[in-house]
């Protein structure tokens, strides 16, 4: 068993599941979407991105691009949240929550693509 592949797969799947955990719930209800879950999704996605830098294959390039998309959308969601709460003082209104959750939904889709690529790559592997 290759420990590097185990760690790589672990962080890809963990990034997707944390993002899913944040995403699930009523889209306009702030109490269904916790800030710490968004923060942990961002951190794990960033770790997964760093792990993808070493792969020089075509699938590795697509893995990296999906991870960068997820990072960008999750950071954008955190920025929308932070601006609404700390800059404008609007707080987590239904409109703001919808924007944050929608951005995390885009990141979730990128994470799902990454997991599908991981599964396809594993199935194509020959011993």
d(CA 41, CA 47): 10
Residues in the chain: 127
d(CA 50, CA 91): 33
Termini Cα distance of the chain: 12
Overall pTM > 0.85? yes
pLDDT in tens, the chain (127 residues): 788 889 999 999 999 999 999 999 898 888 899 999 999 999 999 999 999 887 788 888 999 999 999 999 999 999 999 999 999 988 899 999 999 999 999 999 999 999 999 999 888 877 5
């Amino acid at each position: 068993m290759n420990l590097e592949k185990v760690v790589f797969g672990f962080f890809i799947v963990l990034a997707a599941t944390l993002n899913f955990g944040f995403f699930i719930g009523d889209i306009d209800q702030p109490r269904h979407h916790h800030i710490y879950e968004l923060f942990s999704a961002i951190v794990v996605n960033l770790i997964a991105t760093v792990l993808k830098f070493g792969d020089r294959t075509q699938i590795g390039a697509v893995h990296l691009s999906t991870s960068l998309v997820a990072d960008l959308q999750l950071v954008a969601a955190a920025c929308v949240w932070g601006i609404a709460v700390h800059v404008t003082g609007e707080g987590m209104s239904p409109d703001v929550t919808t924007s944050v959750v929608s951005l995390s939904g885009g990141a979730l889709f990128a994470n799902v693509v990454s997991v599908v690529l991981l599964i396809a790559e594993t199935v194509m592997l020959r011993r």
